[in-house]
Amino acid sequence: MSFPIYRPRRLRKNDTIRKMVRETSLSPSDLILPLFVTYGKNVKKEIKSMPGIFQMSIDNIRKEAKEISSLGIPSVILFGIPEHKDEIGSSANDPHGPVQEAIKAIKDKAPEIMVITDVCMCEYTSHGHCGIIKNKDVDNDATLELLCEEALSHAEAGADMVAPSDMMDGRIGAIRDTLDENGYSNLPIMSYAAKYASAFYGPFRDAAESTPKFGDRRSYQMDPGNSDEALREVALDIEEGADIVMVKPALPYLDIIYRIKESFGYPVAAYNVSGEYSIIKAAAERDWIDGQRAMLESLVSIKRAGADLILTYFAKEAAKALIRG
């Protein structure tokens, strides 16, 4: 078809027809809200580099749960900030730790919410790395045991899904075996399968208080220049028992989301990370962009690339905008 027979503008002339022919639509049910859970009572501490996002104690998490559910957001993912940290992150599997207690509180207040838990050591170690340190690097195999203990403690607390984010080799298989052996064979795993060593994580490290005390995480997170490697990582995690595979970050890696969805036809999640959130918030605050439009356009682009689920700090704000229409 060619002009003048085909005039694409015919289907763009008003909002109604644009909605009727829209190829990709966003819904609150596509979204997962990350929550930062800390110790204490009546804590709601705004994260300086993430406007509108807070560290919250269990009592405030409980209040938050009902609002999240009322907006049609089906799921949250929990990150814990413990009172005490040590070299081996021993509080990660504390049955009364922030994450474990938050699971119970949310399931009590809003049982319809699917509670996902991040499984990693970086929030719990005094050095800020994602596992046991030996010779100034993370020891892969020694870390697997700790990750399994943490994941099991989340399952025992009532988590609906666990999400290992550490990027240790073999961790999906190890966690799957541990869950199966302890009666949790029906508990799904969402793997951070293609997690890149990214500059866009900066604000998260403020939120989770998990900045490495030395070095960086490039010996275990992926090189930003690699695409084929992401497919190999995903294939390994699926083979080991992952039920959902994730790409993190999202916006700089839309090509990776697309390749994974096209290659595997598997449920794909994408993490719209803290830096992506804060860039839009900072620009909108200065009136450089329309913050709401930029937010929704970003989220639609992630879904259009192939993501079935989007983890985003915009979840509540986006849900409200979508409800308003």
Write out the catalytic residue numbers.
195, 248
User: Are the C-beta atoms of residues 165 and 118 closer than 8 Å to each other?
Assistant: yes
Tell me if residue 233 falls in helix, strand or coil: helix
Beta carbons within 8 Å of 2's beta carbon, 6+ residues apart: none
For residues 274 and 202, the answer to whether their CB atoms sit within 8 Å is: yes
Residue 22 region, left (φ>0) first, then alpha (ψ -120 to 50), else beta?
Answer: beta
Give the C-alpha separation, 294 to 282, whole Å: 12
- Sign for the pseudo-dihedral over CA of 209, 210, 213, 214: negative
Rounded to whole angstroms, the Cα distance separating 255 from 227 reads 8
In terms of Cα–Cα distance, which of 273, 250, 316, 298 is closest to 73?
316
Where helices occur in 71-162 by DSSP H, the ranges are: 98-109, 140-157
Q: State the DSSP H helix or E strand holding residue 173, giving kind and residue range, or none if neither.
A: helix 171-181
